[in-house]
Structure 1
Amino acid sequence: MNPTASPAGSPDSSTTTAHTLTRSQRLDRLPFTRKHGKLLGASGIGWALDAMDVGLISFVIAALSVHWGISKGDGSLIASAGFAGMAIGASVGGLLADRIGRRSVFALTLLVYGLATGASALAMGVGALIVLRFVVGLGLGAELPVASTLMSEFAPARIRGRVIVWLEAFWALGWILAAVIGTFVAASGPTGWRWALAVGLVPAAYSLVIRLGMPESVRYLERAGRHQQAETVVRDFELSAGVTVPGGEFAGTAATGSESAGPASDASAPVDPAAVGTVPAADDVRTDGGIWSRALRRRTLGLWAVWFCINLAYYGAFIWIPTLLVDRGFTLTQSFAFTLIITLAQIPGYATAAWLIEILGRRWTLTLFLGGSALAATGYGLADSETMILAAGCLLSFFNLGAWGALYAIGPELYPTAVRGTGTGAAAAFGRLASMLAPFLVPILVATGGQALAFGAFAIAFALAAAAAFTLPEQRGRALAE
């Protein structure tokens, strides 16, 4: 992919030899480069480790129900403690990201939940495990919206949605890894679940790599008055794309944040207009009143509704699927193997969403996949054979995780820079309230009307999420609001 010239008659078309662009516009015009790939890989590995941690707890609960004889109520408490931490972590993490930077919060959250997960492997009782899962949730909840915000602020505008779906696709890799560890480690014996959780120490080490190797958001740096560092980061990305900027190399240091070297830089630079890709203008939205300002109120309500409903249905289903399969008479090993197969369907779901999101747009893609999730949940609730369970489960996994990819893409695009971390974090925090409720709701629904009633409720939640998604503004290809 190469930068394309602006069409004749467009605002970027010019007969002069230079054109003034802001740093954000200079990033938006670029093709996807190796620098983008490294950032995506670094963020994505952290994302995958998050997914591995969330996925492992479903296998741990199933294993503890066999080896410790814990009740469904205890299992619900273990799961909900993590989601309670995620609710608080998402809100606080978003606020911190707008104040101290995206990269710093990303690294801190990896460290917190990595160490807490490793400590969970040593828990000697349900109470200790509940407390440690809450701490794990604090780190995990803060990391996800911060990572998507950081990646959104670097991705080229023309393919930003696709890049965020690629980021979210790492979730599938982490969940698959959790299923593999659950199947071959957690199910290996009475202490297998401890060894499975011990793998969670990996993110603690990875956080050091994140902190040292990732650039900070240019938009955040500008708001913090660190213009020289912001200029260095932008020129690094331009150099990776083979795009030159008049004025020579900038001497600042992006990795360390030093601003002692090099000349002071304005927030814009002259650029050859032939190298400028066409990027539609951003929304003109005011942040007076924050995410509840008149301009942002409607999109905040719609985003919160989607987050609440998709969390309720997703975590209600996938946290309990291994245990519910055991309840149907399958062995622990069979249950975990079925879950692994179902999890593999996430990968084509993400791939399809990544393709559609720049063709149909964010709103239609999100709505379509949420509608498919509703139908798949209905089918799973009615499944009465191994073949039907696997088929409906794979469809549920396909559509649901494709919807998650589109949701993470659309969230950061709805808010200007000053409240982007706050807006995405607050929506995630509200959604976590539903994920706290889901583990308690499932045993009640199953006891009342069986799995058909439980998955019927999830289908309704997915349908409501689809309706809410359709109220969100379409941001395909647009620049992020400043």
Structure 2
Amino acid sequence: MADSRGHALGAAMLGMLLDGYDLSIMAVVLLPLSSAWHLQATETGILMAMALLGSLIGGLFGGFFTDRFGRRRLLFPNIFLYVLGALISAFSPDTAALFAGRFITGLAIGLDYPLVATIVAEYSQSAQRGNRFARVNLAWYVGALLSTLVGWALLSTGPDSWRWMLGSAIVPALALLWLRRGLPESPRWLVRKGQHQQAEEALAQLQPAYSPAQRQAELESFQIQRQSWRILLRKAWLRRLFLSVFPWFCLDVVGLGIGLYFPMVLRDNGLASSNAAAAAINAAFLIISALGIVFIVSRLDRWGRIPLQSAGFALMSLGLAVFALCSWNHWIMGVYLAAAVYSFGVGIGPGVTVFALAVEIFPTELRASAAGLATALSRLGAFFSAVLFPIFEKSWGIPLVLVFMSVVALLGLLATLIYGVESRMKSLEELENLAAKN
């Protein structure tokens, strides 16, 4: 029997690739769409925010459903919903239909986010968990880069190129449907539900090399008293909840606000000569973030989540502050260097670690719900950023908007330092017991 852990990792990676593809394609979609439909700043903000609003709602329900009904049952409905939303978006006759299509795709992605995070946490060994979180988040950037390249290639098809861009996301969605076939249920979830025979069968599928004694020992380690959501009101768990929510909120306020509009900022501020040039430069900075993740793939389990998240937020804040200064003084090379520092900071830290911490530090029966809450509130921040970024840019100017973003990244750094809980090289059960003792 083949080891299903690699299968689970591949399915999680492709799920994140789809999210990166879907969100990032909008940065290129906006280039032809804004001209073809003569979108106003408010319409642009609403369009970019609809998927984020859907993700907010999907994250809340997706986490609850994943904890209530199991990890396996949510593997497929999310993808069918995504395909529906992508088709509505691609064939939209007007802005109302396009808004609806983007909301549905966002809802599907929000439903999937806590599921993917929980699968990575529960289907990985303690010593490899950070490595796998890094790989999964690297897949997000691969999806973002792929969508940028696809969008750039489709720009030449004319004013309706944005329809092809939005419809192209169906291809990775169908691949994900195929890859998720045959994944077992989480043994941890089954043990907590009292389904011990099914848990042993699932563990045998995930770890076929284990002897019966080894499987029994691991299943026994999963048997910790079930926890109620009321424990999250205790001080130790409230600190963990804040750590899982607030830094991710800061990351999405900054990262998605800038990520969605970066090509337009380059074009409208004379930093890129054309739509194609703006898309190409955007792809270059996505590569820098991806290289940051590559750098920590083998180091995350040795160096820890908190030090890397802190360093990443610090570089993000510094890069944005310098970006603002150079933009104010029209120093193009300085803008590019500052954007590179910012992009690398995202990759080496919060671009991976917020996703990991949102699930690692919570009990099995609350893990997906906590991740869903973190996803929802982070997307709330992204929603406000998507709506307000073009409005603030028009009234404040890009340098002042970047200063504001730099301060938000600094707040993420402070929250990480004050509330940090290190999960490096600890089993999920060890992390749960540590909070119970406090």
So what's the TM-score if we normalise by structure 2? 0.90
Equivalent residue, structure 2, for 1:380? 323
Q: CA deviation at 1:290?
A: 4.7
In the alignment, structure 1 residue 101 sits paired with structure 2 residue 57: no
Question: What are the equivalent positions in structure 2 for 1:399-478 lying under 5 Å apart?
Answer: 399-402=345-348, 403-470=350-417, 471-478=419-426
Compare 385-394 and 64-73 and name the one that shifted more.
Answer: 385-394
Contact 2:289/2:347 (<8 A) preserved: yes
Distance 1:82 1:319 in 2: 12
Are 1:298 and 2:245 matched, yes or no?
Answer: no
Query: What is the 5 A alignment of 1:364-379?
Result: 364-379=307-322
Residue aligned with 2:38, SS: coil
* Bigger Rg, which one: 1
SS at match of 1:358: helix
Amino acid aligned to 1:158: A
Q: What percentage of aligned pairs have identical amino acids?
A: 25
Whichever residue aligns with residue 125 of structure 2, its letter is P
The structural deviation recorded for 1:211 is 4.2
The code of the aligned residue for 1:161 comes to: G
Question: What aligned pairs does 1:62-211 form with structure 2 within 5 A after superposition?
Answer: 62-186=31-155, 188-211=157-180
AA at the equivalent of 2:244: L
What code does the residue aligned with 2:249 have? F
- Distance of 1:85 and 1:368 partners within structure 2: 31
Structure 2, unmatched stretches of 5+, are 433-438
The answer (yes or no) to whether the contact 1:186–1:195 under 8 Å persists in 2 is no
Report the 3-state secondary structure (helix = DSSP H, G, I; strand = E; otherwise coil) of the residue aligned with 1:70. Answer: coil
The SS at the match of 1:124 is coil
CA distance in 1 between counterparts of 2:256 and 2:156 reads 21
> Given that residues 117 and 136 in structure 1 are in contact (C-alpha distance below 8 angstroms), is that contact kept between their aligned partners in structure 2?
yes
Which one has a larger percent helix, Structure 1 or Structure 2? 2
Q: Which residue number in structure 1 is paired with residue 436 of structure 2?
A: none
Secondary structure, counterpart of 2:76 in structure 1: helix
Deviations 1:217-254 (A, max 9, x none): 11112233332221112123332xx332359xxxxxxx
Deviations 1:86-134 (A, max 9, x none): 1000010000000111232232212211221122110111111111111
Pairing partner for 1:225 from 172, 191, 194: 194
Give the distance between the partners of 2:226 and 2:310, measured in 1 at CA: 24
Shift of 1:150: 1.0
Aligned partner letter, 1:245: P
Displacement of 1:145 after TM fit? Answer: 2.1
- 1:355 matched to 2:298? The reply is yes
Matched-pair contact (CA < 8 Å) for 1:88–1:138? yes
- Alignment partner, residue 23 of structure 2: 54
Deviations 1:129-181, CA, capped at 9 Å, x for gaps:
11111111111112122101111101111121221111111001000001101
Partner of 2:435: none
Distance 1:418 1:140 in 2: 21
**Which amino acid in 1 is paired with 2:233?**
W
RMSD, matched Cα: 2.4
- Identify unmatched segments of 5+ residues in structure 1: 1-32, 248-267, 272-278
Aligned residues of 1:95 and 1:422 also touching (Cα < 8 A): yes
Between the aligned partners of 1:192 and 1:177, the Cα distance in structure 2 is 16
Following TM superposition, by how much is the alpha carbon of 1:401 offset from its aligned partner in structure 2, in angstroms? 3.2
